[in-house]
Amino acid sequence: MSERTETATLAGGCFWCLEAVYQLLEGVHGVKSGYAGGQVENPTYQQVCGGRTGHAEVVRVSFDPDAIGFDDLLDVFFTIHDPTTLNRQGGDIGTQYRSAIFYENQAQRTAAERKIAGINAAGIWRDPIVTGIAPLGEFYPAESYHDDYLNRNQTQPYCQAVVAPKVAKFRRQHLQRLKRGAGV
């Protein structure tokens, strides 16, 4: 494993769902839930959930680019949420649940644009991708009780009904890809 670490900041609905999946990936050093894309400094979870700060719930994924690439993280991103619904993931509705890639450099921006164009061209989704691509700006870490949320709250109803099934679905898909030799 290399000494290099990069970060990717992604919004795809509830950050608990994204965190739980990205924690499973080899080459990912850590996942931190937080807020990005808004106008209020140091927002709280309650403020963001109120929909008045402009922030999205995001995860900041720290990864070893020699073990897993940004493109690989995007492949996972586009399989674990619906990137065709505007400001919504399942029952979670509001701008804080929007699909977005907050790029940290030009290479990430280019990769995100290329990935979305490829997915749209391939017709993988019936509807066009609505995932926003924007410069990161400021990342605000979420309150510590959001850290490792699924693992610490497995009996919580939202975790049982939404997060755990999403993780289980990803594990099944990921294992099938590995059996076919397709990588991530």
Q: Could you give the C-alpha distances from 8 to 80, 106, 124, 130, 139, in angstroms and in order?
A: 16, 12, 23, 19, 11
Phi first, then psi, for residue 86 (nearest 5°) are -80, 120
17 is catalytic: no
* Polymer length in residues for the chain: 184
Please identify which of the residues 14, 17, 49, 159 carries the catalytic annotation. 14
Question: Which ranges of the chain would DSSP assign to H, the alpha helix?
Answer: 15-22, 45-49, 70-80, 106-122, 149-152, 157-158, 164-180
Q: Which residues does 8 contact at the CB level (< 8 Å), separation at least 6?
A: 60, 61, 63, 70, 73, 101, 104, 108
The strand pairing partners of 8, in sequence order, are: 61
Per the CB < 8 A criterion, the answer to whether 56 and 138 are in contact is no
Positions marked catalytic = 14
